[in-house]
Amino acid sequence: MIQVQTEPLEPRQVRITVVVTPERIERAMSDVAQDLARRQRIAGYRPGKVPLRVAIARFGEEPIREQALERLTEQVVREAIRQEGIEPWAPAQAQVTREDPFTVQATVPLAPEVELGDYTSLSVPRPPVREVTDEDVENVIQSLRQEHATLQTVDRPAQPADTVVLSLVGTLADGSVVVHHDGLALDLSDVGARANQLPPGIVGALEGTVSGETRTFALTYSEFWPQADLQGREVSFEAAVEAVMAREAAPLDDQLARDAADLDSLDLLRERLDEQLRARAEMEAQEAQVTALVDGLVASATVAYPPIALEREVASAFVDLRQRVERQGVAWERWLELQGLDEEKLWADIEPEAAEQVRRRLVLRAFVQAEKIGVKESELDAEVDRLRKPFGRSARRLLPPAPVLRRSAGSRILTNRAVERLLEISAANTLDGSAQHG
């Protein structure tokens, strides 16, 4: 046995302190010495039989001791955890706190602890369903007209959101060409500039141009531009405008119904949209009820979890945000600059919402366990097959591995069943309340 002291820490952690004896250190140094001697043979000694003093003379005491203490740090922490019967929820974080006597201290995260409140009394009536009006339907139709708009040549100066067709050449001060487009259809918006890997200032530079005009201007690329060779550099542009085009909304006729929804008439389109909007309103009402039920479930629970749980949640959200920003073609440093943030401030901004997500997830998991809600293996198999079915054999290789799909499917099914159970509890309590009131 080893000498161990334990100290509970809040929240949901335990600190272990281990003092390592000199004899244990010497044995560890001897083990390291034998490993080194196996890789670099010492004349006159068989592998595994080299005295420590000989190995020290050959390899030096400090390197041997350093490796031995590194191994011991991990070993004694594992031994202490087993000896004390601690069940880690995540890997322990260890550090050496004293050299003489050699002392190791580790913080071991424990499993989160959730105590549910009296959720059996939850009662949240469904809120009134939002009324769908003819105006709502017409607003969607106008959006569809814009979605199916066509570009028409106009005889006027270019305005924001117009499209200009042009030839565009950009050169550096040394005359090297870094941008070259012929017949480029450029939407005069930040989205259009980004889609064509052009600086956002090009939109303002081209506003007011007319067909047949050639305009010259210079733009300085951001210090955080994705292309390193253009960062902070001024580029001189020459734009020869061939046409100015504006979006013209699709006509309000039966063709719009065919293009937008494969329906025969505008009247049928209005009927379909009315049905969809009413179904969406019903769904919104149910979602509001579910949100209130989950809020009630979470608010009545007592939750404690180790800090590593929140750190992981924040890190996941942080990485996801960065990937989304970079998929849009924006340099991460540039995005932070535009938001007036640095990574430390962003981490702090993410933390409150992440903490709420951790709490909700843990409470829902405890609710699932309390209600004995489960998922059969056959159900997971069927769900994974359903997810994979629309994809061809080659496309399936782009999907996440089967174990990841199974975990995702299982989590989704459990969440849906937990929601259904909450709705059942609420409905029963609402009926009881109505009956007692009556």
Long-range own/partner contacts, residues 286-291 (CB < 8 A, 24 or more apart) = 286/126, 288/126, 288/127, 289/124, 289/125, 289/126, 289/127, 289/423, 289/426, 290/419, 290/422, 290/423
Which residue spans of the chain are classified as CATH 3.30.70.1050?
3-110
Q: Rounded to an integer, what distance in angstroms lies between the CA atom of residue 249 and that of residue 268? A: 20
pLDDT in tens, 22-51: 888 888 888 877 776 666 666 656 665 666
Express each pLDDT in 182-199 by its tens digit.
999 999 998 899 889 999
3.60.20.10, 3.30.70.260, 3.30.470.20, 3.30.70.1050: which CATH number matches 3-110? 3.30.70.1050
CATH 3.10.50.40 location in the chain: 150-248
Check residue 84 and give its pLDDT: 93
Least trusted range by pLDDT, from 18-27, 42-51, 337-346, 397-406 = 42-51
Q: Which fold has domain 265-437?
A: Trigger factor, domain 2 (1.10.3120)
Which residues of the chain does CATH 1.10.3120 include? 265-437
Give the per-residue pLDDT at 46. Answer: 62
In this predicted structure, the answer to whether residue 295 has a pLDDT above a threshold of 90 is: yes
Q: Which residue(s) pair with 188 in the sheet? A: none
Collapsing DSSP to helix, strand or coil, 372 comes out as coil
Please give the Cα distance from 105 to 72 (Å, whole number).
12
For 437, other C-beta atoms within 10 Å of its C-beta total: 6
pTM of the model: 0.74
What's the CATH number for 150-248?
Answer: 3.10.50.40
> Across residues 51-70, what is the average pLDDT?
73
Give the per-residue pLDDT at 52: 64
